[in-house]
Structure 1
Amino acid sequence: IAGKLTLIVGPVGSGKSSLLSAFLGEMAQISGNMFKARSASIFSDLSTHFKKHNYLLFYRNMSVAYVSQRPWLLNASLKDNILFGKPFVWRKYKKVISSCALLPDIEQLPAADSTEIGEKGVNLSGGQKQRVTIARALYSEADIVILDDPFSALDSHVGKHVMEEAILKRLVKRSRTVILVTHHIQYLTYAHQVIVMANGHVHYQGKVGEVKKFDPDLYEVWRKAIREAKAAELSVPGMPGGFPGGRKMSAMSVMTEASNEDAGDLSPHDDDDVDGTDQLEEKGKLIKQEFRETGAVNVWVYLRYLRSCSVTLCLLSLLLQLSYHSLIVASNFWLSLWASDSSVYARNLSRFLAISGNVTEDFQFDNSPYLMTFIYLSIGSVLATLIGCLLIYHTGYVGSKNLFINMLVTVIHFPMRFFDTNPSGRVLNRFSGDVIAIDQRLGGHVENLLRCTFFTISAIIVNAVTSPYFLFAAVPFFILYYCLQRFFRSTARELQRLDSVTKSPIYSHFSETLSGLTVIRAFGVQTDFKRRAFKAIDVNVTPFLFIHTTNRWLGIRLDYMSCLLVFISSVASLSSGLHGLANPAFIGLCITYTLMVSGQLNWIVRISTEVEMGMNAVERVLEYTDMEVEVTVSSAGSVSVPESWPSVGRVEFIDVTLSYASDLEPVLHTASFVIEGGEKVVFNYRSFIFIFHFSPYFFLFKIGICGRTGSGKSSTILALFRLLEIVEGTVFIDSLDISRVDLVTLRSRLAIIPQDPVLFTGTLRFNLDPNDVKSDEKLWSALEAVQMKDMVLALPEQLDAEVVEGGENFSVGQRQLICMARAFLRDSKIIVLDEATASIDLETDAKIQDIIHHAAQEHKTIITIAHRLSTIMNYDKVMVLEYGELKEFAPPSQLAADDLSVFYSLLHGTSDQDNK
């Protein structure tokens, strides 16, 4: 409905997101009709005319804003992500961020809204990223705003604030058409129209009040959800709409927690205060500038490349090249000797005939020995060059493969902080551009350099033997060639490094653009992104053009020097011949080699520079290979881990201080606590409630979180997986110090269901069981447990069905369920669920929670982070941490009765019924 709010609801995989994609023109139209009006008046008329028909209608000239289910952000400042190319209007901008509850979050950032949020928003939590994308849609002033499940990463009180202040007041109230997909049924009361999807079809379309007549069961589910949501919204007071918050903190958002006094306030900046603005932007810088070497390539780079190629293979290749050129020179000398002996014999024979006047066949010159020797030398040279070339390219392949594998293994073990501060384009550049340079060009350049070098040495030997005067004339030229090559090499080397470094932004931009194509096309900013791509390409083309320009500069000078060298060599050879110092046959050989050596010298200058430019790629690969990786075990040494570990799920922190990097402030200070098996524990960091539930009898899945982003609730989970640096203290799991447990073993014994579901290219079977150790029965059982069995059975290849990159052929909710099935299949004693049901409808969520509640015999330890607050008071203990320090640790009933406790202040404002 134009200018109204339409809600689209339905279970996982029912086609909600697909319907939005159809609105945006991202789906292939197989049948049916889609009408696009050319003007607003026609649009209004068509809307009335087709209201009763099953047609999809759009006004073609209307602007569209789209908020995707998985937030898509630019690697830019928070402010630039909201503006998204629109001109900055201060009052409008302030109202937008206030409507999206972003003001407190911006105050926490080191450079306020000028803070760089990193690639894919790694600097922000899930809730912050989602609210930034909503703010982008609000600021765009688009006629149609399409939102795909924007509340999945938001707390209930934050979601209500965004719904009322952003969607209703700034969109619907201003007659902007809003299409909203959500699993949060409580917002149905705001909708002017509701569309219920089921199995790819529209199950119901109409007003909310008419649902009771159409589907009473569905109506009761909605009523229950609305009651629960209202109860949850009352549990946490604070700013209008509650504390804005999300999940999944990264380094920057946590480390700025206690630095509010340094945060830039959100106010119009004075244009004259350039220094202050620069300092603010520098403070909010996240992405590090890519390192670039200067000067000559270190000799150790060459030696390590030779070692990666295998020293034995390198020596054998060198020997074959030497043999080939020796045989070539020998065959040429033999041919000259053959011609010389034949000429001498013919001359002596003519003199003999002049005296005797009688000749027979016995006096004819015998060519057979010369011919056979020449054939043998030629065959040997052919075999030597064939085997030598194949061996050199094989050696280069071995070296490239070893370098690639070593870099891959190292990158896989990089600390997570590296990926926060380095765009993926840089890593892609190393694995594509640099590896391609080593794979496809460096081996050929080395082969050419060896060939030209040995040929030049051969030519010098031939000229020295035939005409010794040549050496006196050639030495100055060789010195001149060396000086020219040295000057050109230093220039070309630095240009090649610039070319390599400037490729990274191109890869980053393409990667960023491909992941957000739907959003880019929806907002109609394709031209802006093309302009950015062209700008990045132009920057990269500049050193590329200079490389070719310097090559032309070098070529002209080398050609002049070659002409002079040929002239001097020819004069020296002819002088030797005229003075009888050399045989004419050998003079011809000498001139032939001289004509060829000039070209070979030119190639030596060029190819030696190309080799060094290729070694720049080796240098960049080795830079990643030599970087610091995660510490596998502590300096105290590893411990033997039983196969059954962990068997109880006992977690103990002793004086633990956590930090995201050694140069950053700690996010948890000297925390000490013990959680025994069977306890239900609530953690509160500053104002967040973070719940651990350790139970040897059954699972509890409904766990609530409320409060501000940046409280550090993810820090403890990261510490369990050793993804976060433990500055001081010790973490024990079942009495074993996890710092002394092998990193692979530790992580293999834990399971996690992430907030953003991760699927890998391959088959569904591979994604469920990467090690291929589970039977089909167990796979089907896990799929049935997460309500995915029927869907997989409907696929043509079932368990062997293809999973495309990122799992894009499954909905986000389906991906989440597959990840959940994978975690259950691991049979880990400790399972972490990070808002695992955020993208799942209430009915599926309830079924999964029922499965977990009835898994009493499994004796699992479940660590759950969620946005639901209905089960907080049922837990055994609450741990309250404020500013990274332990404040309270007691049963929730005890803390709730203490009006001086921090936990009581969180519950303040709860209704009497809720307290009961």
Structure 2
Amino acid sequence: MYSWDKLFTQRLNKRRELEVKHLATRKYLDAWCVYFWATTPTLFSLFTFSIFAIMGHSLDAATVFTCVALFNTLISPLNSLPWVINGMIDSVISSRRLHNYLSTPEHCSSELTISSDIVKDDFNRNTETIYDPTTVIIRNLCCSWSSTSTVEPQIILRDISLQLQKGLFIAIVGEVGSGKSSLLNSIIGEMSVISGSINSCGSIAYVPQVPWILSGSLRDNILLGKGFDTRRYEEVIQACTLDVDISTMIGGDMSHIGEKGLNLSGGQRARLALARALYHDSDVYLFDDILSAVDSEVASWILEKAIMGPQMKRKTQLLSTHNLQAIYAADMIVVMANGFVKWFGTLDSFLATPYSKISNPDSSSAVSATSSQKNKGPSTSEFNTKDVLDNGSVVDQEEQRDQTEAEGRKEGKVEIIVYKKYATLAGWSMVFLIFVSAFLMQASRNGNDLWLTYWVDSSSGTNNTRFYLTILAGFGIINSFFTLGRAFSFAYGGLCAAIQIHADLLGSLIGAPVSFFDQNPSGRILNRLSSDLYTVDDSLPFILNIFVANFFGLLGTLVVLCYSQVTFLLILVPLWLIYSKVQVDIT
């Protein structure tokens, strides 16, 4: 990472520390919720039976066990209420976000319903008006990349007025940073319009400087959801010289293209994006300097067969370029400088202006060659596809392999080493404290129930009420103490494990070789650091806490049943065997 790894690690750790603070607050609040949920039956029985006995009433089995059953039913609603409230709050927030998103205004391009005669007066200066059907009209346009009202917009395009007729090939020229790409982005609505208007007619295809490549086959990237037309498909790939590349690929046009086209060269990405635009047969084509990614011979072939080919008849084409052949082959030329349109007109008029000096002074041969091509007709038909291979515009077959590894998944039961690893990260002392607290919590709860049974069966009446209440209170205090210890030790152990897992994950990611990021899509990596890490931070400790509580609760119940009814053991063993068999079959 060019020695930036330490800096990025420090920034991520600072963010993680802030996240851990909020996580700790939440986990400790959850611990209090768990504490009140688990101690509810014991505390309720303690206070209820204490007040009942102090008032002089004698306890009987019907009263005690009916009340205990009712107290146990309180566990589920008391446990669910905080999560229901939390879920309702999340649903309200999500609904507001969806409402704000769905309420955003749709971008609709304005269809042209006026003739060119209405706007011809706007182009008397430095403009040659052609009375053909108009495709794009830009009037007094000022644009900015900022779309928020809180930030003062920085105007990128200033006072742009253009009238683009249908069927013309228009070259947009100018220095780097003059606003050529911004002009194309304003036509497709990617810039914020401060003043003026843009009206377009028909569908628009846009080919950016940095092509967007889908993770899929080469054919899927060209079709992009449109139906497969064999004839047009073959014409397009030949016009973009992709047939040469396809012939070298092991899987042909069904070869898998990695995320962002990682196993394609820069020229292949540009030609793939161009083929996608040509295949969709739009009315207006916007090409953002696509010829700079290929060599001169391929650029000449693309210019003649694709941009000026038979598929583009009666199509309006705007090409941002520095390529001399494209400039001298254009029907109209737009000169951009500092966000302004400095000049707009035909090639002959352009050659008579000072702006023609943007071309290389030593390029007279290229200019004459291009002019002769326009007079004599195509000459690039002699283009040999073998030269493409020799010039190295095609990636080697070894690089064409599917470099994206399939995401590995394990099925079946979780290996014991995973639990050991998590216990090590949480701390074995915390694990020991959790299990001891859970065991003593359940033991004190069972002791509380057994003492109530002994009190009911006792024939001493209310003579020794204080003695019975003291023992019952002791069980309640012990149960409350160990329940609190289990809840907070789980919260602290989960936080320790979350901090250590994130540190190990970040260290492995920062130290990974570059090939790792080529073979794994960025979405997969982000998923590990977002949803998967959230599961480890929040869901896993919560689920393990419930598992431990239910495990010791089941164990305590079995102990009580076996103590009161020894014959229950005869049923328990076959039931356990049947349950284990069914669980294995389902898995």
Shorter chain as normaliser: what TM range?
0.5 to 0.7
Match of 1:195 in 2: 334
Match of 1:335 in 2: 452
Q: Is the 8 A contact 1:161 1:242 kept in 2?
A: no
Question: What SS class does the counterpart of residue 151 from structure 1 fall into?
Answer: helix
State the Cα deviation string for residues 92-141 of structure 1 (Å, max 9, x = none): 33332232233332232223333222222112100111011112222222
Task: Report the Cα distance in structure 1 between the residues aligned to 2:180 and 2:236, rounded to whole angstroms.
Answer: 27
What is the rounded CA distance, in whole Å, between the counterparts of 2:389 and 2:212 in structure 1?
18
Q: 1:153–1:246: 8 Å Cα contact kept in structure 2?
A: no
Residue 168 (structure 1) shift: 1.5
Tell me the equivalent position of 1:298.
415
Cα deviation for residue 58 of structure 1 reads 1.2
How far does the alpha carbon of each residue in 1:153-199 deviate from its partner, in whole angstroms, 9 at most, with x for none?
12233222211222122355x12110112243553212222223333
For 1:71, which of 175, 197, 211 is the aligned residue?
211
Q: Is the aligned partner of 1:224 residue 2:361?
A: yes
In structure 2, the residue matched to 1:267 is none
Q: Distance in 2 between matches of 1:481 and 1:136?
A: 57
Q: Are the structure 2 counterparts of residues 454 and 89 from structure 1 closer, same or farther at C-alpha, using a change threshold of 3 Å?
A: closer
Distance (Å, rounded) in 2 between the aligned partners of 1:131 and 1:311:
58
Aligned to 1:21: 185
3-state SS of paired residue (1:123): coil
Equivalent residue, structure 2, for 1:106: 246
The normalised TM-score by structure 2 is: 0.62
SS in structure 1 at match of 2:256: coil
Counterpart contact for 2:324–2:367, Cα < 8 Å? no
SS of match in other structure, 2:443: helix
Deviation at 1:284, TM superposition (A): 6.4
Q: In structure 2, which of residues 137, 154, 172 is the aligned counterpart of residue 8 of structure 1?
A: 172
Aligned residue identity for 1:192: D
**Aligned counterparts of 2:482 and 2:174: Cα–Cα separation in 1:** 72
State the alpha-carbon separation in 2 of the partners of residues 211 and 243 from structure 1.
Answer: 34
Q: List runs of 5+ in structure 2 lacking aligned partners.
A: 1-164, 371-381
User: What SS is found at the alignment partner of 1:468?
Assistant: coil
Counterpart-to-counterpart distance in 2, 1:82 and 1:338: 82
Go from structure 1 to structure 2 and tell me whether the alpha carbon gap of 1:248 and 1:383 turns closer, same or farther (over 3 Å shift).
Answer: farther
CA distance in 1 between partners of 2:474 and 2:292 (Å): 79
Quickly say closer, same or farther: Cα 1:477–1:28, change in 2 above 3 A. same
Shift of 1:224: 3.1
**Contact 2:204–2:285 (Cα < 8 Å) also in 1:** yes
- 2:259 pairs with one of 119, 134, 139: 119
Contact 2:437-2:486 at 8 Å conserved across structures = yes
Correspondence list, 1:638-649, <5 A: none
What is the SS of the residue equivalent to 1:69?
Answer: coil
Scaled by the length of structure 1, the TM-score of the pair is 0.41
1:65 Cα deviation after fit: 1.9
| Structure 1 residues 376 and 113: CA distance shift in structure 2, 3 A | same
Q: Which residue of 2 aligns with 1:136?
A: 276
From 429, 445, 459, the counterpart of 2:543 = 445
Equivalent in 418, 425, 432 of residue 308 of structure 1:
425
Does 1:378 pair with 2:476? yes
Whether the 8 Å contact between 1:149 and 1:181 is mirrored in structure 2 is yes
Q: CA deviation at 1:444?
A: 1.5
Which letter maps to 1:224? P
1:345 has 2:460 as partner: yes
* Amino acid in structure 2 at the alignment position of 1:345: S
Q: Give the 3 Å change call, closer, same or farther, for CA 112–468 of structure 1 in structure 2.
A: closer
Paired residues in the alignment total 413
**Which 5+ residue runs of structure 1 have no aligned equivalent?**
34-55, 258-282, 347-363, 491-916
1:506-552 CA-partner distances (Å, limit 9, x unpaired): xxxxxxxxxxxxxxxxxxxxxxxxxxxxxxxxxxxxxxxxxxxxxxx
Cα distance between partner residues in 2 of 1:336 and 1:294: 47
Q: Per-residue displacement from partner, 1:45-94 (whole Å, max 9, x unpaired)?
A: xxxxxxxxxxx3311xx232221211112222223323334444444333
After superposition, what is the alpha-carbon deviation per residue over 1:724-743, rounded to whole angstroms, capped at 9, x for unaligned?
Answer: xxxxxxxxxxxxxxxxxxxx
Counterpart of 1:435? Answer: 533
Match of 1:814 in 2: none
- Verify the 8 A CA contact 1:67 1:137 in the aligned structure 2: yes
RMSD in angstroms over aligned alpha carbons?
3.5
Which SS does the other structure have where 1:224 is aligned? Answer: coil
Aligned to 1:324: 441
Corresponding residue of 1:397: 495
Q: Deviations over 1:603-627 (max 9, x none)?
A: xxxxxxxxxxxxxxxxxxxxxxxxx
What's the CA shift for 1:486?
Answer: 3.6
Paired AA for residue 574 in structure 2:
P
Contact 1:77 1:115 in 2 (8 A): yes
Q: Which residue of 1 aligns with 2:112?
A: none
CA spacing shift, 1:326–1:133, aligned 2, 3 Å: same
| 1:433, distance to aligned residue in structure 2 (A) | 4.0
Map 1:21-170 → 2, pairs under 5 A = 21-33=185-197, 56-59=198-201, 62-170=202-310
Cα 1:204–1:384 shift into 2, 3 Å: farther
Match of 1:885 in 2: none
What residue in structure 2 maps to residue 817 of structure 1?
none
Aligned mate of 1:253, from 372, 395, 409: 395
Using a 3 Å threshold, how does the CA distance of structure 1 residues 372 and 202 change in structure 2: closer, same or farther?
farther
Letter in 1 for 2:316: T
Query: How far is 1:212 from its partner?
Result: 6.3
| Alignment-derived partner of residue 608 in structure 1 | none
Does the CA-based 8 Å contact 1:155-1:244 persist in structure 2?
no
Residue 247 and residue 403 in structure 1: after superposition, are their counterparts in 2 closer, same or farther (change >3 A)? farther
Q: Percent of aligned positions with the same letter in both sequences?
A: 33
Shift of 1:2: 1.1
Query: Where does residue 818 of structure 1 map in the other structure?
Result: none
Distance 2:170 2:390 in 1: 25
Residues 68 and 150, structure 1, Cα contact 8 Å, conserved in 2: yes
CA distance in 2, matches of 1:87, 1:465: 73
Does the 8 Å CA contact 2:170/2:319 hold for their aligned counterparts? yes
| 3-state DSSP of counterpart to 1:32 | strand
Change in 2 beyond 3 A, CA 1:153/1:439: same
Matched-pair contact (CA < 8 Å) for 1:160–1:241: no
* Structure 1: distance between partners of 2:293 and 2:450: 81
8 Å contact kept, 2:425–2:501: yes
CA–CA separation in structure 2 for the residues paired with 1:376 and 1:248? 85
What are the within-5 Å matches in structure 2 for residues 472-511 of structure 1?
472-488=570-586, 490=587
- CA change 1:475–1:94 in 2 (3 A) is closer
Hey, what does 2:121 align to over in structure 1?
none
Q: Deviations for 1:644-676, whole angstroms, at most 9, x for unmatched residues? A: xxxxxxxxxxxxxxxxxxxxxxxxxxxxxxxxx
Q: Do the aligned residues in 1 keep the contact of 2:248 with 2:397 (CA within 8 Å)? A: no
Paired with 2:390 and 2:207, the residues of 1 have a C-alpha distance of 17
- Report the counterpart of residue 21 of structure 2 in structure 1: none
Quick one: which amino acid aligns to residue 151 of structure 1? L
CA gap of 1:474–1:138, structure 2 versus 1, over 3 A, is: closer
State the shift of 1:288 in Å: 4.2
